Structure 1
Amino acid sequence: MRALRADIARAGLNTLSGRPAPHSRVLLIVGRPGSGRTALAEELAERLAADYPDGVLRARLTGPGGVPVPAERTARELLAALDAGPVVAGADRDELTEALRTALAGRRALLLLDDVAEPEQLLELLPDNRDCLVVAVASGPLKGVSDVRPCTLGGLDRAAAVELLRARAGAAPRITVDPRRAESLAEACGDLPAALCLVGGWLASRPKLSVSDATARLEEVPPPLDGRNPDFLGRAFRLVHSTLPPPAARLARLLALAPAGFVDRHTASALAGCTVPAAGAALEGLAELGLLHPVAPGCWTVPGCLDPLLRAELTAAERPADVMLARARMLERTVRQLRACWAAGEPEGSPARRKLAGLPRDLRFADAAEAHRWLTLRQPAVLASVRLAVAEGGGELDTLARRLIHAVSRAYDTYRDPEESAPEVYRLHELVLEIAGRGAGRPRERAAALLELADLDARAGRLRQAAGRYRAALDAARAADDVAATGRALESLGGAYADLADWARAADWYARALALRQAHDDLVGVARLHARVAAAHTRSGRLEAALREWRSAAATHRRLRDRAGQARALGEFARVQEYAGRPQEAYRACREALTVAERTEDRPLQAALRVRLADACARLGDERAARAHRAAAERLLRHTESAEAATGGAEKGPDQGS
């Protein structure tokens, strides 16, 4: 700790050479798994927290199974921890890492990046701000990261190793009364903190076992050699695991399947196929042995240093079919919990709440607040479950994956703001698309996922990408003979090109959507699309075509007996007549629109048309009529404001102000 603190104050090599590094200072803690490297980094971060008022940000860069975590996921998590505002849905790695550097500019924060596997992972996340500090944890030097002095950890010194054994072994004086054998036991553990914790916990569970017997038992387990380095942690783990009761040993192996290494009673119950109380008791026992680390009441994580050892035991002892069954049970339990979480947020007396009341007590939530806390704590594990369901099993878990994605989406809709959850929702739709792409028989599912992704792209301003996805969705919808999806894709393509100000293409795609609606006699859709085609023609200067479309829109609204819609269409018809330089025709169209509007209760619409009619009269030189129409519009608006004040705005219509 003293050396690390001194390294912070010491000028870097690049600074001494007159070329200071353009990024934050990096402290690198290097050690083998089980050497206490993460614990040291956490303790350092805690002691330095007061010097970094913008907070300590944590991320682990290697997931269970030794898989590197994508930089975009890490950057998104760090941005969320910074509370830097909503992350753009679908942003790529470069955008997210740049957003992270921008958010850290001008801040004084400490980043603790654990389990760095490759130098590139660290370089992508390094802030450009030299007021920040990065504490990185890795197994070896990170070549390519400038101005870094690694702090290398081996084992503890012997006295500290014996003290750790004594603390873990419990109140029995075995360590104190036999210090020589305690030192031999620490030596057999390689003085590694993780191995000492495991053996100490194992000793605590056997109060009648002497230190000499424990040392002999440990030395009987042959440590496989990694080059010239004995695997002390592996030997301690195998001693503990081999002496567990068979059900507990099997559960410990199966915990390697826990998403993001997160474990609770339900996860363990589903994996082992036992009752929830039995799973809870087994987890407590494994935690006492040091095989799990507590993170919250009733929740644990699998230590990263033990994950490869558990996976090796799982591969050696369990059949692939049994592993697949355990994984499927766990995912099924997660689906049921997510459904219960969503139902807890529904109104009292709703079908969802009634169904929730019929679930087993262990699956129910007392109220929406409890369900929200559950979802917040388990969000990383839930998203990892989705990725696991899609990636594992060669497609055998696709049905479960679809159900899981649907359950996650509903829970997000209930408890999270749409802008906040948009990045995760985007990734969920990408996973749906991945599932749909595995077989040729799922074009409807593919179309739905492409439409959702395209909508999110459009909201994020990626209009070209959105248009490409709408085209792909259109092809999939036509292959599935899905009229609704085809119509939506056509209309959305028109909207994307309208946002791009490509009015000719927008009008073309809107016209295709219009033809589809006409073929299926969807008058509401026909009226809407006549208006959109007309607006696109107006913007592109094709005024005659726009006039025809507005007339058609008005006629369709008349067929629907929608007088307000008919009046609006006629009002727009009058506006285009004005653009065409035909004031008399514009005046007549305005009069017609006002006549129709006066048969409705929509006073704001009447007022808007009165104002437009006043402008038409003014252009024709009839100032007296123009003043009369403006006065009538003011009276209508005052009447509307009085009615709103009397009712608290309850009567305000959705089209007010049009």
Structure 2
Amino acid sequence: MARKTATMDPGPDAPAGAVPGLDRLPAGPALFVGRRAELAALRAAAARPATGRSPVLVLAGRPGSGRTTLAVRFARTAAVDHPDGVLFARLSAPDGGRVAPARAARLLLEQLDPEAPVPLPGATEDGRDEPACVALREALAGRRVLLVLDDVRDAGQLWPLLADEPGCLVLATTAGPLTGIEDIDPVILGGLDRQASGELLADLVGGTRISCDPVGGADLAEACAARPAALRLMAGWLRGDPKAAVTEAARELTRVVGEESARSAAPKGDGEKAEKPAKPVQGAKSGKPGKPGKSAQGVKSAQAAVPGKPVQGVKSAQAAVPGKPVQGAKSAQAAVPAKPGKAPKASPPGEGPAEGLAPEPAAGETAGEQAAWVKPGPEPAEPVPVPDSDPLIGAFTLLYGTLPAAQARMLRTLTLAPAQTADPRTASALVGCPAPEAAATLAALAERELLGQEAPAADGSSRYRVPGRLYPRLVRLREQEDRPAETELARARLLERLVRLTESARALLDPEAGTAPDPLPAALRLGSPEHAREWLLGERDLLLGAVADAIGQGDLDGSAGRLVTALLRALPLTGAAAPADLYRLHELVLTVAERHGRPRRASAALLNLGDLQAAAGRWEQAVTHYRAALEHARTAGDEPLCARALEGAAGCHRALGDAVRAADWYGRALGLRQSMGEPAAEARLLARVAEAHTAQRRFDEADREYRAALAVLRRLGDERGREAVGAALADLRERVDAGW
């Protein structure tokens, strides 16, 4: 049977007009079946009148239950009611890492208005008062926007993004409970019903094979727990072996799941911990696991879907855990029991309040107003794992075993890609093959349901992503089957490819910048300045992620440093480089410099960070950076860097209205510039000291400094400078004569 193209079917209810941001949603699978009750529940919830903050819809389900696909489906049909656009962000990495709310807010702000400046990071990445979160909430005021937040780990990620705008709608998908936010009545995703499971298998495998063996089809659906992801993987296995019977597929899957379950239950060797089976949600009436035909229609509970036990037909008002009821919540989310005698975790320095605890009210916000947003809840939930005995892992194991060596290697190696997302350019670098060959391999893996399709790249080329539900198993396979040297070489090739692409984009955007780099192969080449600009902006987050990953591991600092340098030179040429991006890059430079004991480079990075903070009017933060830069510069014995740090700190004190400290720091910078023999800087600093003395009403000293500056400027022949300083001196004397 010929497969349908892997693009999202918008459905019969899709809006006719173009709504901004629809192209940012994941492409998703071509085939969509079932979930009528869940879609109806979402539409009914979205239609309810809202007041105060933005209403929140939640889709809860285990990995592989199709929650992201359903969320995208709903977003495409509901976009017509949100003409100001659709925003999309993932709040978890494939490895289960938690994305800070501030980072998600910056991504959403860029989508909302690419030309608007994104605030620099604040002192905390998780608090409601973090600048990016505040800016997002302010930007959403008065708009009708649909925010799709995928794979939310806990309520602490969600509540800082909720605006006081009932016209906006937030749709969040999650695998765990979201306790702490009121008025959430989630839709729980279990398995597909019997009819939908049969339709999905028939469409993916071929109607004849399924219709000729309806019992085998039902057995296969039951072995897959009727979950869409497992069904798709088994359909890929059947397509790869046209002679295999559907009954055989069900039998093989049952065998593999049994073997994996026995292996997981077996005692572990030294240094290994036996995996604990997932605890079922207590106080809930659920159907049998894997039994198709029971949808989550009418569910009034917000339980987290527990691996190994789908939540179906829940009737309880809340999933009560002994000793810890959920207080003040209208939904029935599973609560995490508090450990006796254990205080809540303190937040690390610079990371804001501990998750799940109500933070201190922001300035101007009363405790009552804050309580309307979030109530004390559990600490952040751990990532919901996919146990080895899960049918999803069994289906993957069967399908992976049938892959050609080249496809299996590509699939394993894609776990090294930034954000586990790749196009033919990055995939070819990772495995060391031509780009057309990489494109064909990526398409083949997507055809077999092993990769998810993302929104296209700026040049229209396809982009793919390793599903988070498969990521841990693929990492384990990579560590088992690939030598460490091969993995390091793949990462090095990727960084070098990104360096060459970035340098090529810079050469196109600024032909007069210098010698153009060696041309890339035709399949990788950026064709025009506009193409280069779109590539830089479209791949900006992935480029920054690649640098951060490399520097975090610490073994490829040379290649990572070249990529940082290339990005610092190229991004400003786009005309839309956010200061927040440059800030992240300079932070990475600082990390590498301090790691390798290079105080001069660390000082330069801190000066750049201070300049960005000062440009944003955040003077206290800028002073902190300038002081740290001064210490590094003194260690390196670099007088120019010392002088620059002194002058920067003085400017911050001047902006803060602290004339005494400003005069002191300007005076120290002046003495250093004089010893270095820099008359132009000397004249500038003399004028600055005079201004500080004037603010302190020390008019005689100010008059003397202005006259000294005029003398230096006269020697330099700087007529324009003499006019400016002369005007300032005349104004000072006029004020003194007037008794000011």
Which TM-score band (shorter chain)?
0.7 to 0.9
For residues 10 and 417 of structure 1, the distance between their equivalents in structure 2, rounded to whole angstroms, comes to: 38
For residues 483 and 362 of structure 1, the distance between their equivalents in structure 2, rounded to whole angstroms, comes to: 48
Letter in 2 for 1:67: G
In the TM superposition, 1:478-489 aligns within 5 A as 478-489=634-645
For residues 200 and 135 of structure 1, the distance between their equivalents in structure 2, rounded to whole angstroms, comes to: 30
Report Cα offsets for 1:593-615 as digits up to 9, x if no partner.
xxxxxxxxxxxxxxxxxxxxxxx
Aligned equivalent of 1:179, options 203, 208, 214: 214
In the TM superposition, 1:82-93 aligns within 5 A as 82-83=112-113, 85-91=116-122, 92-93=124-125
In the TM superposition, 1:297-376 aligns within 5 A as 297-347=461-511, 351-352=514-515, 354-356=516-518, 358-376=519-537
The question of 1:535 aligning with 2:691 is answered yes
SS in 2 for 1:222: helix
SS in 2 for 1:501: coil
Letter in 2 for 1:504: V
SS in 2 for 1:298: coil
Aligned equivalent of 1:247, options 399, 406, 416: 406
For residues 42 and 568 of structure 1, the distance between their equivalents in structure 2, rounded to whole angstroms, comes to: 61
Aligned equivalent of 1:44, options 74, 80, 101: 74
Give the match for residue 87 of structure 2.
57
Give the Å deviation of 1:12.
12
Report Cα offsets for 1:544-579 as digits up to 9, x if no partner.
222222222222122223334334434433333323
Report Cα offsets for 1:244-297 as digits up to 9, x if no partner.
122221211111111112111222222222332322222121111111122323
Give the match for residue 28 of structure 1.
58
Report Cα offsets for 1:106-138 as digits up to 9, x if no partner.
333222221111122222323333333222211
For residues 720 and 617 of structure 2, the distance between their equivalents in structure 1, rounded to whole angstroms, comes to: 33
In the TM superposition, 1:96-107 aligns within 5 A as 96-107=132-143
SS in 2 for 1:140: coil
Letter in 1 for 2:95: G
The question of 1:387 aligning with 2:548 is answered yes
How has the CA–CA distance of structure 1 residues 75 and 571 changed in structure 2, closer, same or farther, with 3 Å as cutoff?
closer
Report Cα offsets for 1:150-186 as digits up to 9, x if no partner.
211121122221221222225x832333333233233
Give the Å deviation of 1:477.
0.9
Percent of pairs identical after alignment?
Answer: 45
SS in 1 for 2:87: strand
In the TM superposition, 1:505-544 aligns within 5 A as 505-544=661-700
For residues 322 and 197 of structure 1, the distance between their equivalents in structure 2, rounded to whole angstroms, comes to: 31
SS in 2 for 1:340: helix
Aligned equivalent of 1:148, options 184, 194, 211: 184
Q: Which runs of 5+ in 2 are unaligned?
A: 1-35, 262-276, 279-307, 310-388
TM-score by structure 2 length? 0.72
For residues 513 and 107 of structure 2, the distance between their equivalents in structure 1, rounded to whole angstroms, comes to: 35
Aligned equivalent of 2:605, options 426, 449, 452: 449
Would the aligned equivalents of 1:490 and 1:513 in 2 still touch at CA under 8 Å? yes
Give the match for residue 313 of structure 2.
none
TM-score by structure 1 length? 0.81
Would the aligned equivalents of 2:94 and 2:469 in 1 still touch at CA under 8 Å? no
For residues 572 and 128 of structure 1, the distance between their equivalents in structure 2, rounded to whole angstroms, comes to: 48
For residues 517 and 43 of structure 2, the distance between their equivalents in structure 1, rounded to whole angstroms, comes to: 58
Give the match for residue 199 of structure 1.
234
How has the CA–CA distance of structure 1 residues 564 and 197 changed in structure 2, closer, same or farther, with 3 Å as cutoff?
same
Aligned equivalent of 1:68, options 95, 98, 101: 98
When Rg is computed on C-alpha atoms for both structures, the one with the higher figure is 1
Give the match for residue 304 of structure 2.
none
For residues 122 and 90 of structure 1, the distance between their equivalents in structure 2, rounded to whole angstroms, comes to: 18
Give the match for residue 427 of structure 1.
584
Moved more, 315-324 or 529-538: 315-324
SS in 2 for 1:65: coil
For residues 221 and 47 of structure 1, the distance between their equivalents in structure 2, rounded to whole angstroms, comes to: 39
In the TM superposition, 1:563-574 aligns within 5 A as 563-574=719-730
The question of 1:168 aligning with 2:204 is answered yes
For residues 309 and 273 of structure 1, the distance between their equivalents in structure 2, rounded to whole angstroms, comes to: 23
The question of 1:238 aligning with 2:397 is answered yes
SS in 1 for 2:617: coil
For residues 154 and 568 of structure 2, the distance between their equivalents in structure 1, rounded to whole angstroms, comes to: 33
Would the aligned equivalents of 1:169 and 1:202 in 2 still touch at CA under 8 Å? no
Would the aligned equivalents of 2:686 and 2:709 in 1 still touch at CA under 8 Å? yes
SS in 2 for 1:30: strand
Give the Å deviation of 1:518.
1.4
Moved more, 475-484 or 543-552: 543-552
For residues 484 and 246 of structure 1, the distance between their equivalents in structure 2, rounded to whole angstroms, comes to: 57
In the TM superposition, 1:537-552 aligns within 5 A as 537-552=693-708
Give the match for residue 443 of structure 2.
284
Aligned equivalent of 2:256, options 221, 244, 248: 221
For residues 438 and 648 of structure 2, the distance between their equivalents in structure 1, rounded to whole angstroms, comes to: 50
Letter in 2 for 1:351: G
SS in 2 for 1:180: helix
The question of 1:499 aligning with 2:655 is answered yes
Letter in 2 for 1:193: P
Letter in 1 for 2:598: R
Report Cα offsets for 1:422-459 as digits up to 9, x if no partner.
112112222222223324x2111111111111111112
For residues 24 and 77 of structure 1, the distance between their equivalents in structure 2, rounded to whole angstroms, comes to: 19
How many correspondences in the alignment? 569
How has the CA–CA distance of structure 1 residues 487 and 503 changed in structure 2, closer, same or farther, with 3 Å as cutoff?
same
Aligned equivalent of 1:274, options 433, 448, 465: 433
Give the match for residue 652 of structure 1.
none
SS in 2 for 1:87: coil
For residues 21 and 318 of structure 1, the distance between their equivalents in structure 2, rounded to whole angstroms, comes to: 55
For residues 684 and 108 of structure 2, the distance between their equivalents in structure 1, rounded to whole angstroms, comes to: 43
SS in 1 for 2:257: coil
SS in 1 for 2:143: coil
Moved more, 191-200 or 572-581: 572-581
For residues 446 and 27 of structure 1, the distance between their equivalents in structure 2, rounded to whole angstroms, comes to: 46
Q: Higher RCO, 1 or 2 (CA under 8 Å, sep at least 6)?
A: 2
For residues 185 and 450 of structure 2, the distance between their equivalents in structure 1, rounded to whole angstroms, comes to: 32
How has the CA–CA distance of structure 1 residues 283 and 452 changed in structure 2, closer, same or farther, with 3 Å as cutoff?
same
Letter in 2 for 1:426: Y
For residues 407 and 206 of structure 1, the distance between their equivalents in structure 2, rounded to whole angstroms, comes to: 48
* RMSD of aligned Cα (Å): 2.6
SS in 2 for 1:66: coil
The question of 1:464 aligning with 2:652 is answered no
Would the aligned equivalents of 1:26 and 1:134 in 2 still touch at CA under 8 Å? yes
Extract structure 1 runs of 4+ deviating beyond 6 A.
10-13
SS in 1 for 2:173: strand
SS in 2 for 1:557: helix
For residues 159 and 719 of structure 2, the distance between their equivalents in structure 1, rounded to whole angstroms, comes to: 63
For residues 618 and 513 of structure 2, the distance between their equivalents in structure 1, rounded to whole angstroms, comes to: 39
Aligned equivalent of 1:129, options 148, 165, 173: 165
For residues 5 and 55 of structure 1, the distance between their equivalents in structure 2, rounded to whole angstroms, comes to: 22
SS in 1 for 2:133: helix
Q: Which runs of 5+ in 1 are unaligned?
A: 584-658
